A and B are shown apart, each in its own frame.
Chain A
Amino acid sequence: EPEVTQTPSHQVTQMGQEVILRCVPISNHLYFYWYRQILGQKVEFLVSFYNNEISEKSEIFDDQFSVERPDGSNFTLKIRSTKLEDSAMYFCASRDPLGSNQPQHFGDGTRLSIL
């Protein structure tokens, strides 16, 4: 069964450094998402992306965050200057374009630890 893959599985970064989290969505999917989950808390929506532009973003997704689909297979989340509170699991998801009710499929996440 096709799946969303994320790399790295764990990223440790010094506060203030830039970090790029990578995702390979399911191949025929055209809608892409990033979510995060701080340890012990709910899964939170960050951003949705379609047709090479952001469709929607949450309040969390401020100017320090950006997303990109640099080629036909990768979808990345960049945090420009990391803060301690950015420590979380970051999940990428993708969805089939055939119908708005299609479920989102998630990767197993990148654990981001900011020191």
Chain B
Amino acid sequence: LAKTTQPISMDSYEGQEVNITCSHNNIATNDYITWYQQFPSQGPRFIIQGYKTKVTNEVASLFIPADRKSSTLSLPRVSLSDTAVYYCLVGEGRNTDKLIFGTGTRLQVFP
């Protein structure tokens, strides 16, 4: 059962802002929204996590509307090194903390 839906791929150019939106219509009250980044042959790397409104760190911003049925990861001024797969994850239930990864969004940044 898919809990999140995100675009399969996106293209951008260096210096642009990239926004990746994820739908999670069935998000539970207790669920946090977490984004990971994965480069080829590396483990997923935690980027950002939020519950509602806006969260910002040194790498990205996460925008969550009031209904929490979607979220948008914003990467400011991407560089070639931001080329990676980005995963949006929400909780899988009260009694589990396993992560269920989808196919993610493959972001390709061009010079």
Residues on the B chain within 8 Å of A43, using CB: 38, 44, 87, 99, 101
- Please give me the residue from chain A that is nearest to B92 by CB atom: A45
The answer to whether A75 has its CB under 8 Å from any CB of chain B is no
A residues 71-115 touching B (CB-CB < 8 Å) = 89, 91, 93, 95, 100-101, 103-109, 111
| Chain B residues whose CB sits within 8 angstroms of the CB of A31 once the complex forms | 97
B110: interface (CB < 8 Å): no
With contact pairs A104-B46, A105-B46 given, residues A111 and B41 touching in the complex (Cβ less than 8 Å): yes
Range class of the B interface residue count: 20 to 34
Interface flags for B41-61 (1: CB within 8 Å of A; 0: not) read 111111001010000000000
Interface residue tally on A, bucketed by range: 20 to 34
Known: A48-B97, A101-B32, A104-B46. A89 touches B41 (CB 8 A): yes
Q: Is B34 an interface residue (CB 8 A)?
A: yes
Which A residues are in CB contact (< 8 Å) with B87? 43
Q: Once the chains bind, are A42 and B46 in contact (CB under 8 Å)? A: no
Interface 0/1 of A16-50, CB less than 8 Å to B: 00000000000000010101000000111100100
- A-to-B contact residues, CB < 8 Å: 4, 31, 33, 35, 42-45, 48, 56, 58, 89, 91, 93, 95, 100-101, 103-109, 111
23 pairs from A and B in contact (CB 8 Å cutoff): A35-B99, A42-B102, A42-B103, A43-B87, A44-B101, A45-B100, A56-B96, A58-B98, A89-B41, A91-B43, A93-B43, A93-B99, A100-B97, A104-B99, A106-B36, A106-B45, A107-B43, A108-B41, A108-B42, A108-B43, A109-B41, A109-B42, A111-B41
